[in-house]
Amino acid sequence: MSIIHADRITKVFNPRGKGAVTALSELSLDVREGEIFGLLGPNGAGKTTFIKVLLEIVAATSGTAQMLGAPIGNSAAKARVGYLPENHKYPDFLTGAQVLRYFSKLGGLPSDQREQRITDRLRLVGMEQWHKTKIRKYSKGMMQRIGLAQALVNDPQLVILDEPTDGVDPLGRKEIRDMLLRLRDQGKTVFLNSHLLSEVELICDRVAILNKGRLIRIGTVKELTTQENTYRIGVEGTLPAELRLQWEATRVSVHEENGELVCALPDLAALNAVIDQLRSAGLLIRSVAEKRQSLEDMFIDVISREEAQ
Ligand SMILES: Nc1ncnc2c1ncn2[C@@H]1O[C@H](COP(=O)(O)OP(=O)(O)O)[C@@H](O)[C@H]1O
Ligand SMILES: [Mg+2]
C-alpha cells in the first residue's frame, strides 16, 4: 500500500511576478508502507516544498496527492503524521519537556498518557537529563533531538523529517539513524529529506533524487549505485586512435586520467572486452582497480550531467 502517493505535483511560487520560481515540476512518487524513503537533492531542489505541499502548508499549483489513504488536507490523516520541520524554532523560554507537553496537547493525546509518553520520548532521543533545561541553552544537536521527540510524541504512523541530522555531530547522527531504523522495525513509515548522501545510503530502503524540481532518479540505493562501476586500468603504450573511435561508436565511456584509463562499464564482461581490445592493440596492462559507485558519486555524476544539458 502507498502511504504517500503524489501525482504530477507542480508548484510555482509568484506565478505572475517577474520572480516566478518553479519549485516542483510534475513530481510523481510513491512511498510504501514500512519503508524509509529518502528524498535527496541539492539546496533549492524543491525537497522542503514537496513536504509543505503534502502537509498543505503550501498549496500545489497543479497535481494531486494522497497521504495515508486520504487526499492531502484530510485532518484525520494529518493527525497520524509526525513532522520535523527544517530549522524548527520553539519558544526558547520553554524547557524540552514543556515543548513536548505542548505538542502532545495539540495532537490530542489523552492527559493520563501524557507524562509517560513525554518521558518515553525524551529517553528515546537521549534527552532525559535535559528535560528541565530551557531550549535557549540547547545546542543545534539537542534542538534536533527535541524536534525528533516532538515529531514522535503523538505516536504517528508516518514520520516526515526535513533534514533530521542537520547540525548534529557524527555520533549523534549515528544515534538518529539507529532511531529511524527502530521506528521502521515498529512498522512506521519514514520519509526524510536530506542532502547528506553518505548517511542516507546507510538506512534508506529507497531514494528519489530531485534537481530543480524535477525527479531524475528513483529506486533502491543498490539499483541507483550499481548500474555502472568505474574501473581504472593502468596501461603501458600509446592508445591507438582507432580504438578511441571504436569506443565512441559503441558508447563505451573511457577517458584518460593521470596515466590511467578510467572506464564506466556495466559489468565484468564489458571490462574484459576492453582489456582484450587493449591487448590486441599491443598495450600492456599494468593494473586494474574497481571502484563501486557510492550514492554520492552517482549523485554528483547525475547532477553534473543535468547541468551540462
Ligand atoms: N515561499 C517561497 N517563495 C518563493 N520561492 C520559494 C519559496 N519557498 C521556496 N522557494 C524557492 O523554491 C525552490 C525550492 O526550495 P526548497 O523547497 O526550499 O528546496 P530544498 O528544500 O530542496 O533546499 C528554491 O528556489 C526556493 O528559493
Ligand atoms: Mg529544504
In the 3-class helix/strand/coil scheme, how is 211-224 assigned residue by residue? ECCEEEEEEEHHHH
Which residue's CA is minimally distant from atom 26 of ligand 1? 44
- What mean pLDDT do residues 30-46 have? 95
Read off the pLDDT of residues 221-264 as tens digits, 9 standing for 90 and up: 888 876 567 888 999 988 888 998 888 887 778 888 888 898 88
**Cβ atoms of residues 182 and 12 within 8 Å:** no
Pocket lining: 85 vs ligand 1, CB cutoff 6 Å: no
Q: In which band, very low, low, confident or very high, does the pLDDT at 75 lie, cut at 50, 70 and 90? A: very high
CA–centroid distance, residue 26 to ligand 2 (Å): 18
Pocket lining: 194 vs ligand 1, CB cutoff 6 Å: no
Q: What percent of the chain has pLDDT over 70?
A: 99
> Which has the minimum average pLDDT: 7-21, 151-165, 223-237, 278-292?
223-237
Looking at the CA of 163, which ligand is closest?
2
User: DSSP letters of 84-153?
Assistant: E-TT----TTSBHHHHHHHHHHHTT--HHHHHHHHHHHHHHTT-GGGTTSBGGG--HHHHHHHHHHHHHT
Ligand 1 mutation pick, 10, 48, 209, max ligand atoms within 8 A of CB: 48
| pLDDT number for residue 227 | 56
* Cα–Cα distance, 271 to 231 (Å, whole number): 8
Q: In which band, very low, low, confident or very high, does the pLDDT at 303 lie, cut at 50, 70 and 90? A: confident
| pLDDT number for residue 5 | 98
Pocket lining: 49 vs ligand 1, CB cutoff 6 Å: yes
| pLDDT number for residue 259 | 82
| Radius of gyration from C-alpha coordinates of the chain | 24
Inform me whether the pLDDT recorded for 31 exceeds 90. yes
| CATH code of the domain occupying 2-224 | 3.40.50.300
Read off the pLDDT of residues 177-206 as tens digits, 9 standing for 90 and up: 999 999 999 999 999 999 888 778 889 999
* Cα–Cα distance, 142 to 154 (Å, whole number): 20
State which residues have CB under 5 angstroms from ligand 2, the bound ion: 47-48, 86
Q: Which residues pair with 255 in a beta bridge?
A: 262
* Other beta carbons less than 10 A from residue 283's beta carbon: 19
For residue 46, give the ligand 1 atom closest to its CA.
17
Pocket lining: 189 vs ligand 1, CB cutoff 6 Å: no
Which residue's CA is minimally distant from atom 24 of ligand 1? 44
Ranges of each domain in the chain: 2-224, 227-292
- What mean pLDDT do residues 34-40 have? 96
Specify the fold of 227-292.
Alpha-Beta Plaits (3.30.70)
